[in-house]
């Protein structure tokens, strides 16, 4: 099965909106074993959109669109697809009921033009949208080809794709595809590839790497006639990856939504511990990332952003003489920050970060990218020196990720 993504919206062409939808759908299609050769972005122009549809349908079995399902005159995605299919749009009662219910839930008045969101061809399979007012659709285009319409906002598009489109694609493919996601922190892409190259060259199961700042994620996928067979094929590959890479593998999940923060929160819950943070250069990033995890309130008690030296002394009791003697970017200050946060909030463990993110301020003794992390428990307080590179944003993000990794390792020690 070949799929093609067609993202609709002039705002995408102009760079006003970042096209994260194509990235999300591409990753999910790849995990399903669905082939892609092309992606297209087209503006809100009926003539160019019609041309894009016809081109995509000439080379793909499934065309997946995002955007253009709203009630305004420039929302032309469905209308042009219906024209290409040679079919008329009609009001679908079940879709209208959904749109009206959503407006009622939002306590907003539904204007007459919103009825257009419930217009589809008669043989369309309507996809309900629990997160917005625009239903999606699976449109029969003839010759066994379909167009899948998805809303533009990611918070609406992503759950619709996962919950409704993926089951349709699995059924259409006639194969069972199982994926596991292996998340790695503390080993670079080149070293991962060096250790796993023979496994990456395998056909089925397949092993594909994806990289983000400081992390590598491997997607292991097996295809078979049944889920049981696919899982049996996949298990020894995942086990071998974990054996070769060791403890830099911090999670093996059934989806690609794992994270260092999720692992840390899970470890804290299992141990029954609470945590506090004390941050300088990361400015609250560690705490913010932790509380993005559902259920983090069970373990995250609070945090301090002590950006200036005086705040470190006032809020968590770092002695001014320690800062004066060792410099604010030092192991001594990092340990005092972590210990002070733990004591002030009466938690089981605290993590701190102090460093120099740049671009200016570096010296020969303390260059930009020098970071110290602190971890404090009732049993011990330790510091972790880091020498990071890159721009300010990268140094801050890597500091946060290293802090989360250090936190989960200490909890699991």
Residue among 15, 71, 7, 16 nearest 44 (CA): 7
Residue-wise pLDDT tens digits, 86-114: 999 999 999 999 999 999 998 899 999 99
Q: Are residues 180 and 282 in the same domain?
A: no
Indicate the range of 216-230, 304-318, 370-384 predicted with least confidence.
216-230
Tell me how far apart the alpha carbons of residues 368 and 359 are, in angstroms, rounded to a whole number.
7
Across-strand partners of 177? 223
Indicate the range of 30-44, 48-62, 241-255, 257-271 predicted with least confidence.
30-44
What does the pLDDT read at residue 257? 85
Q: Which of 173, 195, 223 is the last residue of a domain?
A: 173
Residue 393 Cα distances to 99, 254, 303, 355, 358, angstroms: 41, 30, 21, 13, 9
Contacts of 193 (CB under 8 A, 6+ apart): 200, 209
Q: H or E segment at 65?
A: strand 62-66
Statement: residue 31 has pLDDT above 80: no
Helix/strand/coil percentages in the chain, nearest 5: 45, 25, 30
**CATH number of the domain encompassing residue 75:** 3.40.980.10
What does the pLDDT read at residue 40? 97
Taking residues 337-343, report their average pLDDT: 98
Statement: residue 158 has pLDDT above 90: yes
Q: Are residues 226 and 362 in the same domain?
A: no
Q: Are residues 163 and 221 in the same domain?
A: no
Pairing type for strands 300-305 and 275-279 reads parallel
Tell me how far apart the alpha carbons of residues 208 and 32 are, in angstroms, rounded to a whole number.
13
Residue 168 Cα distances to 163, 174, 201, 352, 378, angstroms: 9, 10, 29, 47, 53
Residue range(s) defining the domain that contains residue 153: 2-173
Q: Are residues 209 and 350 in the same domain?
A: no
Q: Which residues of 89-102 are buried (b: 16+ CB within 10 A; e: fewer)?
A: beebeebbebbeeb
Q: Are residues 265 and 404 in the same domain?
A: yes
Cis peptide before 359 (omega within 30 of 0): yes
Q: Which of 141, 158, 173 is the last residue of a domain?
A: 173
Taking residues 308-317, report their average pLDDT: 98
Statement: residue 183 has pLDDT above 80: yes
What does the pLDDT read at residue 222? 92
What does the pLDDT read at residue 239? 97
**CATH number of the domain encompassing residue 328:** 3.90.950.20
Q: Tell me the three state secondary structure of residue 58.
A: helix
Residue 8 Cα distances to 33, 152, 215, 362, angstroms: 24, 8, 31, 46
Band (279; pLDDT cuts 50, 70, 90): very high
Phi–psi pair at 4, nearest 5 degrees: -135, 140
Residue with the larger pLDDT of the pair 261 and 179? 261
What does the pLDDT read at residue 234? 96
What does the pLDDT read at residue 176? 84
Contacts of 288 (CB under 8 A, 6+ apart): none
What does the pLDDT read at residue 146? 97
Report the share of the chain in percent with pLDDT over 90: 89
Residue-wise pLDDT tens digits, 68-86: 999 999 999 999 999 999 9
Band (363; pLDDT cuts 50, 70, 90): very high
Tell me how far apart the alpha carbons of residues 33 and 28 are, in angstroms, rounded to a whole number.
9
Q: Are 358 and 369 in contact (CB under 8 A)?
A: yes
The CA-CA-CA angle for residues 23, 27, 33, to 5°, reads 145
Across-strand partners of 339? none
Report the share of the chain in percent with pLDDT over 70: 100
Band (132; pLDDT cuts 50, 70, 90): very high
Q: Are residues 105 and 42 in the same domain?
A: yes
Tell me how far apart the alpha carbons of residues 221 and 32 are, in angstroms, rounded to a whole number.
8
Q: Are residues 141 and 244 in the same domain?
A: no
Give the 3-state secondary structure of 111-178.
CHHHHHHHEECCCCEEECCCCCCCCEEEEEEECCEEEEEECCCHHHHHHHHHHHHHHHHHHHHCCEEE
Number of folded domains that form the chain: 3
What does the pLDDT read at residue 411? 98
Residue-wise pLDDT tens digits, 250-260: 999 998 889 99
**CATH number of the domain encompassing residue 226:** 3.30.70.2860
Taking residues 229-249, report their average pLDDT: 96
Q: Are residues 284 and 212 in the same domain?
A: no
Q: Are residues 166 and 27 in the same domain?
A: yes
Pairing type for strands 249-253 and 215-224 reads unpaired
Q: Which of 173, 205, 238 is the last residue of a domain?
A: 173
Band (174; pLDDT cuts 50, 70, 90): confident
Tell me how far apart the alpha carbons of residues 372 and 179 are, in angstroms, rounded to a whole number.
37
Indicate the range of 99-113, 261-275, 311-325 predicted with least confidence.
99-113
């Amino acid at each position: 099965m070949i799929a093609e993504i067609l993202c609709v919206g002039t705002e995408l062409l102009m760079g006003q909106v970042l096209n994260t939808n194509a990235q999300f759908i591409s990753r999910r299609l790849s995990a399903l074993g669905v082939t892609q050769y092309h992606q297209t972005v087209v503006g809100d122009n009926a003539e160019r959109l019609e041309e894009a549809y016809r081109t995509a349908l000439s080379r793909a079995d499934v065309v997946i669109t995002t955007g253009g399902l709203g009630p305004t005159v420039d929302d032309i995605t469905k209308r042009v697809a219906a024209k290409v299919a040679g079919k008329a749009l009609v009001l679908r009662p079940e879709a209208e009921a959904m749109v009206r219910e959503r407006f009622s839930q939002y306590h907003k008045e539904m204007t007459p033009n919103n009825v257009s969101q419930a217009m589809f061809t008669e043989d369309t399979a309507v996809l309900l949208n629990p997160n917005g007012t625009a239903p999606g659709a699976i449109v029969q285009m003839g010759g066994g080809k379909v167009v899948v319409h998805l809303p533009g906002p990611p918070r609406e598009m992503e759950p619709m794709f996962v919950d409704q489109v993926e089951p349709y694609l699995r059924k259409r493919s006639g194969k069972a595809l199982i994926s596991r996601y292996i998340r790695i922190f503390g080993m670079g892409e080149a070293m991962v590839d060096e250790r796993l190259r023979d496994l990456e060259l395998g056909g089925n199961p397949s092993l594909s790497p994806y990289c983000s700042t400081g992390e590598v994620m491997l997607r292991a996928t097996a295809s078979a006639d049944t889920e049981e067979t696919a899982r049996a094929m996949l298990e020894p590959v995942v086990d071998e990856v974990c054996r070769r890479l060791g403890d830099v593998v911090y999670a093996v999940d059934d989806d690609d939504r794992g994270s260092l923060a999720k692992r840390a929160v899970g470890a804290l819950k299992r141990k029954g511990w609470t945590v506090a943070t004390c941050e300088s250069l990361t400015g609250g990033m560690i705490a913010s990332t932790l509380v993005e995890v559902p259920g983090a309130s069970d373990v995250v008690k609070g945090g301090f952003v002590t950006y200036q030296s005086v705040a470190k002394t006032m809020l968590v009791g770092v002695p001014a003489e320690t800062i004066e003697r060792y410099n604010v970017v030092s192991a001594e200050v990092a340990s005092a920050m972590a210990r002070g946060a733990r004591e002030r909030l009466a938690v089981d463990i605290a993590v701190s970060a102090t460093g120099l993110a740049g671009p200016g301020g570096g010296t020969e003794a303390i260059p930009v990218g020098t970071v110290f992390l602190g971890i404090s428990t009732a049993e011990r307080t330790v510091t972790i020196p880091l020498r990071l590179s890159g721009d300010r944003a990268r140094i801050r993000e890597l500091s946060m990720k290293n802090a989360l990794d250090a936190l989960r390792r200490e909890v699991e020690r």
